[in-house]
Amino acid sequence: MISERRKWREHIPLYLNGSLGEEQRHAFEKILEENPQLRREVAEFAKIHDLYADFQQQLPPPSERVFRRVEAAIRTQEQAPVAKPAAQPFRRLGKTLAGLFAAPRLSWALVAVQLVIIVVLVAGRGQTPVFRTLTSTPQAVHPAAAVQVVFQAHAAEAQIRKVLLAIGASIADGPTAEGLYTLRLADKTNIEQALQRLRQSPLVRFAGRVY
Amino acid sequence: MTEETVREREKRLLEATARKDRAAFRQLYDMTYGQVRFFLIRKLNDENLAEDVLVETYSAVWLQAGTFRGKSRGLTWIMGIARNLAHKALRGRRNHRSLEDLAQLANGKHPGDEDFSRKQVLAKALDVLSDKHREVLELVFFHGMTYPEAATLLKVPVNTIKSRIFYAKKSLLKTFEQMGVQADDI
């Protein structure tokens, strides 16, 4: 009942401004005859409507001068060179990035990536660096049982083998680009004595400890 | 000519304007000029500024008519452009033109005239209303818009328009009381 009354009240301004369809208008007028409260409200709104209706009748005729101004403005805009939207792709990219960074999903993704980087860095701290100095030891050989040696360029494979067998060593790593070999010494071999023998050999250019 | 025909004509003329038909554009201008001008003068309270915005509005109509999709009434679409441009021109300044001034401009009558004083009281009361309430009354009673059309123009829900129009009337009656005028005497 209340909604019905509200519906008819809402019709009042539309009834006065002529927006109601014919069927609705007839129905409204029928209700109006039976409802003095609605009639009173229509009369109140009608005063407002009449005021505006007066102004409606007194609208000035379309101005020729203003239309000439409109035409001139249109000509100016149509003749103006069409500016290429150079900044448009950047603006679009900027908007896209702004949108991405504003999205909570991306923020969480960035946090996850940062965490992965931190874990990798922390976990990798104890490992041997991937770079090696000339005298650094390969992982498989304990420094206490290893020496490094560079043979003369003219040393033959048979001669090198003879030297290694003489001191009970085997090649653990090498040669590197610089010709450096890492030798693993047999157990209980005295490193200093082994180095001395190597240094005395005319086939050896350099012999030293592994650090 | 029925209201429906007016709406159809506005739509047809806008569609022809989109095809760069200058004669149709001129007819559209003639048809809507008075309403758009009144709307802008009320909004801007400055006739020169209103004329500048009017020129901008119709230039925009010519250039953008192709974007009119016919979802709203043609006049609503044009007034939407005018409203946006007026807001841009105002830049925060709000001072609508008094209906009293418009009455004087319209028919040259003076406050002493009997016919004028009745109108003057009502006009004064309307000018006391908040912008939102006054605007919705003007859209419905002056521009003859439906609730959905006014809602489209003001970018608010239809129910907001409905409640604003009844609050506007209530506020108007209260103003009459404060002015010592019986609503029945108006």
* Residues in chain B within 8 Å Cβ distance of A52: 137-138, 141-142
Instruction: Name the residue facing A77 among B63, B147, B173 (closest C-beta).
Output: B63
In whole angstroms, give the CA distance from residue B165 to residue B156: 13
Predicted TM-score (pTM) of this structure: 0.58
Apex B123 CA angle, B185 and B143, nearest 5: 110
State how far residue B36 is from chain A, nearest Cα, in angstroms. 10
Nearest one of B42, B135, B185, B102 to A54, comparing CA atoms = B102
From start to end of A124-188, where are the E strands? 146-151, 169-173, 180-185
Considering only CB atoms, A73 lies closest to which of B29, B59, B141, namely: B59
Taking the C-alpha atoms of residue A29 and residue A34, their distance in angstroms, rounded to an integer, is 9
Domain B98-186 fold is: Arc Repressor Mutant, subunit A (1.10.10)
Using an 8 Å CB-CB cutoff, list chain B residues near A79. Answer: none
- CATH code for the part of the protein at A143-209: 3.30.70.80
pLDDT digits over A119-147, tens only? 888 776 655 554 555 555 555 556 667 88
Helices (H), A124-179: 157-167
Q: What is the pLDDT of residues B84-111, one digit of tens each?
A: 999 888 875 655 556 655 555 444 444 4
pLDDT at A87: 52
**Tokens at residue A23, please?**
């069927």
Residue A2 CB: number of other CB atoms within 10 A? Answer: 6
CB B41 within 8 A of CB B26: no
Order of all β-strands in the sheet with A169-173: A169-173, A180-185, A146-151, A204-209
Q: Give the residue among B21, B51, B22, B46 at the shortest CA–CA distance from B36.
A: B51
Q: Where are the domains of chain A?
A: 2-57, 143-209
Residue B66 confidence (pLDDT): 92
Q: What is the ipTM of this complex?
A: 0.77
3-state DSSP call for residue A170? strand
Which of A48, A69, A77 is opposite residue B137, by nearest beta carbon?
A48
SS3 A207: strand
How is chain B split into domains, by residue range? 1-97, 98-186
Contacts of B59 in chain A (CB under 8 A): 70, 73-74, 77
Which one-letter amino acid corresponds to residue A23? E
CATH architecture, range B1-97: Orthogonal Bundle (1.10)
Q: Is residue A89 scored above 60 in pLDDT?
A: no
Token readout for A81 is 């060179």
Whether the ω angle into residue A89 lies within 30 degrees of 0, i.e. cis, is no
Average pLDDT over residues A53-72: 85
Distance CA B24, CA B13 (A): 5
Q: Which residues of chain B does A67 touch, with a Cβ-Cβ cutoff of 8 Å?
A: 26, 29, 58
